[in-house]
Structure 1
Amino acid sequence: MRLGAAFQRLWFGNAFGNLADGLAFVTIPLVAVALTSSPALIAGLATAYSLTRLLVTVPIGVYVDRLDRRTLMWTANLLRGLALVALAGLLFVGQPSIWVLYAVYCFVGIMENVADNAAVAILPDLVAEDQLDSANSHISSVQLIADEFAGPPLGGLLFGIAAGLAVITTGSLYCLAALAFLLLPRKGPGPDVDLEEPRPGLWAEAVEGLRWMAGHAQIRTLAGIGALANFAYMVPFSILVLFALERLHLSAAGYGVLLAVSSLGGLVGAAVAASVRRRLGYRFTMALSMVLGSATLLGLGFTTNPVVAGLLLALYILHATVYSIAATSLRQRLVPAHLRGRTYAGSRVLSLTGLALGGAVGGVLAETLSLAAPLFAGGIAFAVAAVWATSLKVDGPAPPEA
C-alpha cells in the first residue's frame, strides 16, 4: 500500500528523531555520571525530565491544536538539536555544571512533547483513513529499529570516543529530523476552526478539549485503558533489572541482550498489526493483545530460565506494539482534527500518571513480597484492561460524537 511522499518525509523525520532518542537514552545518563558522583542527582535527572513533561503536556496540546503542526515539529526538533549541540560545545571546552545538564535535558523533554503530539495529530492529514493502521505500523517499526537496536549501542560507542561527540551527534540527528519535517505540507488546526474569530484563553481551550474527551465514550474508554495499561507495564518493568540479575542470574551484559532480543517481538507486532486489526476489528485486537500481555507477565513470574524469559518478553513487546498501533489509529479516526492535540495531551497525562503509580507500586511489592509479585500484579492489571477493552463499541471508521 503506497502511503505517499508526505508520509515518507514524516517517516524519515521520525527515523532521525528516534535514532537521536536512542542515543540520548544512553548518552545523557553517561554525561551525568561524568559530571557528578551523587546517586541522588543522577537518579533525579530522569525524575526531573518526567515531571517537566507531565507539567507541560496539557498546554502543549492546546498549541498543537492552535498552530501549524508542521512548524511545531520542525521547530521543536531544531531547538532540542541546537540545545544538545550547545551542550556538546561545553563538554569539548570544559566540564559544565550538572545543573546545566538538568536544564538542557528538561528543555529537550519539553520539545519532545511538542514534536510527539504534533506528529500524532498530523498523521491523519497525510494518509487516507484506511491507511492509518499501516502508517502507524511503519512508524512503530522504524521507532523500534532506531530507538531500541541502533541508537543505544551507537551512543555507547560514540561516548567511548568522546562525550561531546556522542552529544553533538544526537543533536545533529534532531536537526536532520527538523529538515525532514520542514518539507511536510503545512497542516494547521483543521477545517472546524474559524481562525478569524477571537480564541478563548489557553486554559479555557484546554478544558474544552478535556471536556470533549470526557464526554466521548470511546475516547474516554481508550484513555482509561491506556492509563491502566501503562500502570500494568510499569509495575513489573520498574524492577525488571533486579528480576533479571537475581532471578534469572544474568550479568549486566546479559540483561542488555535480553532487552535487545525481546525487542524483536515489537518488529513482529508492527508487521502483523494492520492485518490483525482488519481481521478482528479494533475492540478484539486490543482486548486479545492485552490477554497476551497478561499471560506473558504471569508466565515470567513463574520462570527462572533466561531463554523462556526472553521468549515471554518478546511476546510481551509484540502485544504492546499491536495494542499501541490499534489504539493510536482508532483515536486518530475518532477525534476531529482541531481537537487532536488536546485529546492526545489528556490521554498522555493519564498514561504518565499510570506510569508513575506503577513504578511506585512495583517497588513496594518487590520490597515487601518478592521480585515475582510485581509481575503477577501487572498480569492481573492487564487482564482487567482486556475485559475493559471489550466494552469498546467501535470496530471501524465512525464519526466522532459532537
Structure 2
Amino acid sequence: MLGGVFGRLWTAAVVSRLGDALRNPALALLAASVTRDPRAIAAVVVAGQLPPLLFGLLGGVYADRWDRRRTMAASDALRAALVGGFALLVATSEVHVAVLAGCAFLLAALGTLFDAAAFAMLPALVPADRLAVANGRLQAGTAVAGGLVGAPLAGVLFAVGAAVPFAVDAVTFAVAALLALTLRPTVGSLRPPASRTPDSATARRRVAWRAAGDGLRWIWRDRTLRRITLLSMVTNIAISGLIAVIVLYALDVLKVPTTGYGLFMSAALFGALGGGLLSGRIAARLGTLPGLRWVLVAETLAVATLAVARHPVPGAIALAVFSAGTASWNALSSAYGQRNVPAEMLGRVGSAQRTAGLLAAPVGAVGAGFLGSAAGLPPVLYAAAAVFAVVTLSSWRALRS
C-alpha cells in the first residue's frame, strides 16, 4: 500500500488534471465563438503552450527553494482565483481573444510551478521501492481524468453555459490546493535544505537564472540520466509526429468512420491507463532500466504495426499498446530520477527533463507535416517506427545498471 498521504497527493494531481481537461477545450470553444480567425484561435493555443518552455527551468528552481507543499497549494489557489475571476468575466461580459490568451498563459505558467513541486515532493511521501508504482498510478489517474472524464465533459458544460467549465475548473483548483496543504512527509522532507540567497532583487534574479541551469548540468554529469533524457527527446520527436497526423491517418488510411473517431482514440486512453497500472509490476519483475528497454521494444512493435495496419481494429490495438508503453516509460523514468537525484535537486532536474522533451516535440510535428504533404501519411508512420527502432537498439547498450 502507498498510504493515505499519497492518496491525497494523487487526488490533488488528478483533480488538477481534470480542471485542465475541462478548461483547455472550453477555451478553444470560447475562442471559436469570439472569432473565426484561425490565427487568433491558434494564438490562444500557443499562449498555453509557451510557459513550460519559457519558465519550466525556473519552476524547478523555486520548487527546490520553497516549501513544496505550500508551493503546490499556493499555485493552485492562485489558479483557482484567476480562473474563477475569468468565469465571472465570461458570464457577465464579452471576452476579447487577448484576454483568453492571457488567461491561458498565466494558468500554464502557474502549472509549471505546481508540476515541478509535485514531482519533487513524491519521494518524501513514498518509499523508494514504490516510486514506480506511485508514478504509474499518477499516470493512470491523470489519463482517465484528462481523456475519459474531462474532455467529453467540457463540451457538455460549455453547452450549458460558456462560463460553467471555467467555474468548475476553479473549484477543482481550490480542492487541489486544500489537499496539498494536508500533505505531511512520511519518508523525507517537503522542504528543501535552506540556502542563503542574495539580498538584492537583481542578485536574486541572477542566482535564479544561474540555478536554472543546475538541473541540466546534473543530467549531463549523470551518465544514465543523460541517456534517458536524450532517448526521451528523440522518441518525443516521433511521438509528436504521430500525434500531428493521427486524425488524418485514422480517417484516410485506417478508414475509421468520422462518427467512430472518438471510440478509436479511446484506445489510447485505455492503453495509457493499463500502462500506468502495470509500471510497478514491470519495475518489480525486471528492474527500472531493463523495464525501460522492454517498454521501448513494445512501443517499436506497436508503431510498426500501426504503420502497416489498414483496418481500424488492429490500428486501435496498436495504438493502445503504444500508449501503454508511453505511460510506462514516463512512470519508470520518473521513478529512476526521483530515486537517484538528491532531494534538493529534484525540482530542477525534473523540470529540465520536461523542458528538453517539450523542445523536441515541435521538430516532430513540423517534420511530420512536411513529410506527410510530400510523400503521404504512411511514410510518417514508417519514419516514426524507424526512430523507435534506432532508439530501442541504442537503449540496449545505453540503459544498463
* TM-score > 0.5 by shorter chain: yes
Q: How does 1:154-169 map to 2 (within 5 A)?
A: 154-169=153-168
User: Separation in 2 of the partners of 1:389 and 1:174?
Assistant: 39
User: Separation in 2 of the partners of 1:114 and 1:394?
Assistant: 32
Query: Of 250, 260, 267, which aligns to 1:261?
Result: 267
User: Separation in 2 of the partners of 1:350 and 1:189?
Assistant: 26
In structure 2, relative to structure 1, the CA distance for the partners of 1:119 and 1:164 (3 Å cut) is same
Contact 1:133 1:329 in 2 (8 A): yes
Q: Deviations over 1:232-252 (max 9, x none)?
A: 111111111111222223344
User: Separation in 1 of the partners of 2:345 and 2:238?
Assistant: 28
Q: What corresponds to 2:42 in structure 1?
A: 43
Q: Secondary structure at the match of 2:147?
A: helix
Asked whether 1:298 is paired with 2:296, we answer no
Q: Deviations over 1:333-353 (max 9, x none)?
A: 111011111111211121011
User: Separation in 2 of the partners of 1:369 and 1:376?
Assistant: 11
- The amino acid of 1:305's aligned partner reads H
Larger mean CA deviation between 28-37 and 252-261 belongs to 252-261
Asked whether 1:349 is paired with 2:350, we answer no
Q: What corresponds to 1:318 in structure 2?
A: 324
Q: What corresponds to 1:86 in structure 2?
A: 85
Contact 1:283 1:392 in 2 (8 A): no
Q: Deviations over 1:66-122 (max 9, x none)?
A: 111111111111212221111111111121101000000011111111111111110
Q: What corresponds to 1:308 in structure 2?
A: 314
- The amino acid of 1:133's aligned partner reads A
Q: What corresponds to 1:368 in structure 2?
A: 374
% same residue:
28
Q: Secondary structure at the match of 1:390?
A: helix
Q: Deviations over 1:210-269 (max 9, x none)?
A: 222211111111111111121111111111111122222334432211111331112221
Shift of 1:383: 1.5
Q: Deviations over 1:158-187 (max 9, x none)?
A: 111111011111121111111111111375
Q: What corresponds to 1:111 in structure 2?
A: 110
Q: What corresponds to 1:133 in structure 2?
A: 132
User: Separation in 1 of the partners of 2:325 and 2:31?
Assistant: 34
Unaligned runs of 5+ in 1: 396-402
Asked whether 1:195 is paired with 2:195, we answer yes
User: Separation in 1 of the partners of 2:239 and 2:338?
Assistant: 23
Contact 1:36 1:42 in 2 (8 A): yes
User: Separation in 1 of the partners of 2:268 and 2:57?
Assistant: 33
Q: How does 1:2-401 map to 2 (within 5 A)?
A: 2-185=1-184, 187-190=189-192, 193-196=193-196, 201-392=207-398, 395=401
Q: Secondary structure at the match of 2:287?
A: helix
User: Separation in 2 of the partners of 1:81 and 1:391?
Assistant: 47
- The amino acid of 2:291's aligned partner reads T
- The amino acid of 2:289's aligned partner reads R
Larger mean CA deviation between 200-209 and 263-272 belongs to 200-209
Q: Deviations over 1:26-60 (max 9, x none)?
A: 21211111111111111222222222320111111
Contact 1:65 1:188 in 2 (8 A): no
- The amino acid of 2:340's aligned partner reads L
Q: Secondary structure at the match of 1:372?
A: helix
In structure 2, relative to structure 1, the CA distance for the partners of 1:256 and 1:393 (3 Å cut) is closer
In structure 2, relative to structure 1, the CA distance for the partners of 1:177 and 1:333 (3 Å cut) is same
Q: What corresponds to 2:201 in structure 1?
A: none
Contact 2:229 2:353 in 1 (8 A): yes
User: Separation in 2 of the partners of 1:65 and 1:365?
Assistant: 42
Larger mean CA deviation between 249-258 and 304-313 belongs to 249-258
Contact 1:229 1:385 in 2 (8 A): yes
User: Separation in 2 of the partners of 1:268 and 1:4?
Assistant: 21
Contact 2:239 2:364 in 1 (8 A): yes
Aligned Cα RMSD in Å?
1.7
Larger mean CA deviation between 331-340 and 179-188 belongs to 179-188
Larger mean CA deviation between 24-33 and 110-119 belongs to 24-33
User: Separation in 2 of the partners of 1:202 and 1:209?
Assistant: 12
Shift of 1:194: 4.2
User: Separation in 1 of the partners of 2:231 and 2:2?
Assistant: 29
Q: Deviations over 1:312-353 (max 9, x none)?
A: 111111111111111110111111011111111211121011
User: Separation in 2 of the partners of 1:112 and 1:140?
Assistant: 17
Q: Secondary structure at the match of 1:95?
A: coil
In structure 2, relative to structure 1, the CA distance for the partners of 1:23 and 1:93 (3 Å cut) is same
User: Separation in 2 of the partners of 1:393 and 1:385?
Assistant: 11
**Number of residues of Structure 1 aligned to a counterpart in Structure 2:** 392
User: Separation in 2 of the partners of 1:287 and 1:154?
Assistant: 37
